Amino acid sequence: MNFLRRSLVGLFLLSVTLGLLAVAGASFWGAVQERMNREAGSRPARERVAGVNVVLIEPGSAVPVMTAFGEVLSERTLDIRATVGGRIVELSGKFTEGGSVEAGEILARIDPVNAEAALENARTDLAEAEAELADAERALVLARDDQAAAERQAALRAQALTRQESLRERGVGSAAAVEEAQLAAASADQAVLSKRQAVASAQSRVDVGRNGVSRARIALSNAERNLDDHEIRASFTGTLADVAVVEGGLVASNELMASLIDPDALEVSFRLSTAQYARLLGDDGRLIPAAMQVRLDVSGLDLVAEGTLDRVSAAVGEGQTGRVIFADLSESAGFRPGDFVTVTIEEPALEGVAVVPATAVDAAGTVLVLNAEERLELAQVEVLRRQGNEVIIRAEGPAGSLAGAHIVAERSPLVGPGIRARALNLDREDATDAAQPTPEELVELSPERRARLIAFIEGNNRMPADAKERVLAQLSQDRVPASTVERIESRMGG
């Protein structure tokens, strides 16, 4: 009986539990249906206001800067070649890779024994030719004197013939005497003719002697020049490169021994696109002598040189585009031929333009203008130049003027046309101050830190002397540029 009673109580409690769960589920479902069917109350929506930085457009002039990459070249490069073959018997101590030589200095001497013997033979030949000429000249003088004597004798014979003819006309002389006088006069004339032939032969001998002397002098000059060719001299002051000979070695005629480079006559060559080249042309269609700057990064420090544009290549080149420009460097301390440098060129100034951050202009050439109702409007601008983090746009022109307008300095997906915006930097005196670069920060160094930086610079053997002096001069000041200190400490590893 107890078992039956307990079973019935359990079934009763289970039924009550299930009933309560069903009532609770029905109540919950009814509440959900009522909530879903109830009209939701709407709150009044507020317009979102975006905070932006703006830039004031002020028309003015700007100098665009064109950037390119080029290579430093030498305007004076000479191949030093052996003019004659032979053994190198003497080599200058400066005839090494990177050796500095002066103009006219003897660099090498090739064995001159054969050339010296040839020179002595040429001198001997010249002496013999001069002696032969002198003998011929003396013979000519004697021949002329002999001719003069024969002519005088012929004149006497002619006078005798005239006298005999006169005597015969007066009946004093005889025909035989006249004939004898005529034969004597004819013989004298024949003797004069023979002497004239002798003089002509002597004159011809003198001419031959003079030609022999000329040939001997030419041979002597060639022998002297051949001897001089055994000495290799520097044509100008410069630095040697690609040295390929040693003392005692054999060289062939026209063999390349080294290259002589003038380190002070440097130029830089770089390639520009056709559009960039067109901007550097003057009204006459020629390349303008625009100012340019060459920069080389050496151990974290920049070597800078100034220059001007000089000329343009005559041809484009097969498979290439653009133009190759050459520029002269006014000062090239620290630079060497073959350096890969960065070239910046100042273009002619542009008027009626404004310089704005690159983030203010999108790829379609549009900007967002903040109007008087503090809403953003989309405006089309003419992009003239893109250089680094800045863009030069046309601020005023036939298409419209943006002078005095405020544009968004930094575009983002959160701002667009029609959105209400608030300028965050209008509380400053001038909104353009946000886009202007801040002056270089100067820091004060402790004596220990200054001494550590100076010791590192003085111990850096790879740094050029002029760059080292410039950096040491900066470190000796009371306040040192923070960028310089940062670069040096990054090289130090601390």
Say whether both 470 and 486 belong to one domain.
Answer: yes
State the average pLDDT over residues 115-138. 90
Q: pLDDT value at position 397?
A: 59
At 95, which CATH number? 2.40.50.100
Say whether both 180 and 309 belong to one domain.
Answer: no
At 319, which CATH number? 2.40.30
257-270 pLDDT per residue, tens: 898 988 888 889 99
Say whether both 102 and 237 belong to one domain.
Answer: yes
State the average pLDDT over residues 140-163. 83
Q: pLDDT value at position 435?
A: 44
For residue 1, being part of any structural domain is answered with no
Q: What is the chain's Cα-based Rg? A: 53
| Mean pLDDT, the chain, whole residue set | 82
CA–CA gap between residue 128 and residue 143 (Å, rounded): 22
State the average pLDDT over residues 409-428. 80
188-209 pLDDT per residue, tens: 888 888 888 888 888 888 898 8
Is the per-residue pLDDT at 429 higher than 50?
A: no
CA–CA gap between residue 113 and residue 84 (Å, rounded): 13
State the average pLDDT over residues 442-463. 79
Is the per-residue pLDDT at 437 higher than 60?
A: no
> Between residues 112 and 491, which one has the greater pLDDT?
112
Q: pLDDT value at position 299?
A: 65
Is the per-residue pLDDT at 440 higher than 90?
A: no
366-384 pLDDT per residue, tens: 888 888 888 888 888 888 8
Q: pLDDT value at position 372?
A: 82
At 412, which CATH number? 2.40.420
Domain extent, residue 255, equals 76-111+230-260
Where does the pLDDT of residue 431 fall: very low under 50, low under 70, confident under 90, or very high at 90 and above? very low
- Please give the share of the chain, as a percent, with pLDDT higher than 90: 5
276-323 pLDDT per residue, tens: 888 888 888 888 888 888 988 776 677 888 888 988 888 887 888 888
Is the per-residue pLDDT at 42 higher than 60?
A: no
For residue 50, being part of any structural domain is answered with no
Q: pLDDT value at position 52?
A: 85
Q: pLDDT value at position 493?
A: 59
Pairing of strands 49-52, 420-423: parallel
Q: pLDDT value at position 1?
A: 61
Say whether both 384 and 360 belong to one domain.
Answer: yes
211-238 pLDDT per residue, tens: 989 999 999 999 988 888 888 888 888 8
Is the per-residue pLDDT at 463 higher than 80?
A: no
> How many domains is the chain partitioned into structurally?
5
- Please give the share of the chain, as a percent, with pLDDT higher than 70: 91
Where does the pLDDT of residue 58 fall: very low under 50, low under 70, confident under 90, or very high at 90 and above? confident
For residue 35, being part of any structural domain is answered with no
For residue 31, being part of any structural domain is answered with no
Say whether both 340 and 354 belong to one domain.
Answer: no
Say whether both 118 and 217 belong to one domain.
Answer: yes
* Domain limit, last residue, from 298, 315, 346: 346
Please indicate, yes or no, whether the overall pTM of this predicted structure exceeds 0.85. Answer: no
Say whether both 164 and 200 belong to one domain.
Answer: yes
Say whether both 338 and 380 belong to one domain.
Answer: no
State the average pLDDT over residues 343-357. 88
For residue 485, being part of any structural domain is answered with yes
State the average pLDDT over residues 63-74. 89
At 208, which CATH number? 1.10.287.620
For residue 170, being part of any structural domain is answered with yes
Lateral strand order in the sheet of 60-62: 60-62, 350-357, 390-394, 383-387
Say whether both 339 and 388 belong to one domain.
Answer: no
CA–CA gap between residue 300 and residue 492 (Å, rounded): 11
For residue 182, being part of any structural domain is answered with yes
Say whether both 365 and 391 belong to one domain.
Answer: yes
Is the per-residue pLDDT at 390 higher than 80?
A: yes
> Between residues 424 and 134, which one has the greater pLDDT?
134
The first and second tokens of residue 457, run together, are 């610079």
Spatial neighbors of 415 by CB under 8 A, at least 6 apart, are 50, 52, 368, 376, 408, 421
